[in-house]
Amino acid sequence: MGVGGQAEDYICRLDDTEKKKALDELREDENIRDQSLQQMRDWIAKHPNIKKCRTDTPFLLRFLRTKKFSVPQACEMLERYLTIRQLYPQWFQKLDCEDKDLAEIIDAGYLVPLLERDNGRLVLFSCAGKFDPHKYTAAHMIRVHSLVTEALMDDELNQINGYTYVNDESGFQMSHISLWSLTDVRNILRCIQNTTPMRHKANHFLNISPSAIKLIEFAVSLLNEKLKNRIFMYKSIEELHNKLDKKILPKEYGGEIPLQEMLDKFKAQLKEKREKILALDDMYIEIDEKNCPLVSEMNEELGLGIDGSFKKLTVD
């Protein structure tokens, strides 16, 4: 779907259960949805700096559902999303599943969406030990997460139900830590926390080594209270099974479907969505770093001061 298409033939395919959940949790009904979509399209059309932007229904619903149909907040998040993509092309652009490095990291099984859902939520499974810190950089890690999430965010069930994360930290080494400075961790968390249109519902950590715990604790300290309360850490796989239905997990972690089978299906999904994800780079917002209030506000949030530049955040 090209930039600017409104997808007028878009049909909401939610069943009654999902429609009720959207109404109860997000204040969404057909009337509010249609009005909010039109308001966002009008706002985009009149925005002096947004030159190209997707206006199709699935894309705009990313932001409206994340912000529970507060149109001003959804518009602000969209502006931040476009701005971040522009300021960090090394993290958020040219997200090609056929890129050699990204393909190798995905093939290794570092980050995989699971096939079964957690009470409706999509489960994103990551394994730190399958990311080679001697071969790849922190920028590679961010790019893989960006590619995977872009492939998932247009899905209505994901928008309404949100995401559960399961992180196996076995294999986490000091060399993983060396990829990041504490400033890098702080900056990327604060940056993405306010710009990515995703509902983060639960974050499970397993097999945390002593070397990983301090970095994770530091990262958790930077999150807002709502997200802090959605983080869970386990000393054993059995503890995780008590919190999460083990049938959801890969066979290697007590489930029924091998991780490789899940990975193969996701790689096929990535291939199908390749052109659509690459077309995101067609979106364009003009940015004057010195005179843009949004950039100044972001700089202040990131502790960069009035003269700070986002370019200081480059990690590769």
Residue 230: which CATH number?
Answer: 3.40.525.10
pLDDT of 214: 74
The answer to the question of residue 11 being in a domain is no
58 within domain boundaries:
yes
- Cβ burial of 26 (10 Å; 0-12, 13-18, 19+) is buried
CA distance 172 to 209: 7
Q: Both 23 and 158 in a single domain?
A: no
On whether both 171 and 36 belong to a single domain, the answer is: no
pLDDT confidence of residue 290: 65
Task: Assign residue 44 the CATH number of its domain.
Answer: 1.10.8
Per-residue pLDDT, 12: 56
Residue 9 lies in a domain: no
Task: Give pLDDT tens digits along the chain (316 positions).
Answer: 334 444 444 445 788 999 999 999 999 999 999 999 999 999 999 999 999 999 999 999 999 999 999 999 999 999 999 998 988 898 899 999 999 999 999 999 999 999 999 999 999 999 999 999 999 999 899 999 999 999 999 999 999 999 999 999 888 777 777 777 776 677 677 766 788 999 999 999 998 887 777 777 777 777 888 888 888 888 889 999 999 999 999 999 999 999 999 999 999 999 999 999 999 999 999 997 765 656 666 566 544 433 333 333 333 3
- Within-domain flag for 3: no
pLDDT at 313: 32
| Two tokens, residue 28 | 């969404």
Residue 227, pLDDT score: 83
Task: Note whether 157 and 255 are same-domain residues.
Answer: yes
pLDDT of residue 293: 58
Total count of domains within the chain: 2
Say yes or no: 39 and 63 in one domain: yes
Within a domain: residue 219?
A: yes
Identify whether residues 213 and 70 lie together within a single domain.
no
Whether 113 and 245 map to the same domain: the answer is: yes
Residue 86, domain member (yes or no) = yes
Domain that holds residue 251: 100-274
Instruction: Specify whether 54 is located in the same domain as 155.
Output: no
pLDDT score of 309: 33
Pair 182, 235 in one domain: yes
Assigned domain for 6 exists: no
Residues 73 and 193 in one domain: no
Q: Quick one: 251 and 303 in the same domain?
A: no
- Asked if 108 and 87 sit in the same domain, the reply is no
Is 7 among the domain residues? no
Q: CA distances (Å), 281 to each of 52, 60, 126, 226, in order?
A: 10, 16, 26, 32
What's the pLDDT at 31? 95
Same domain, 51 and 188: no
Nearest CA to 116 among 254, 237, 250?
A: 250
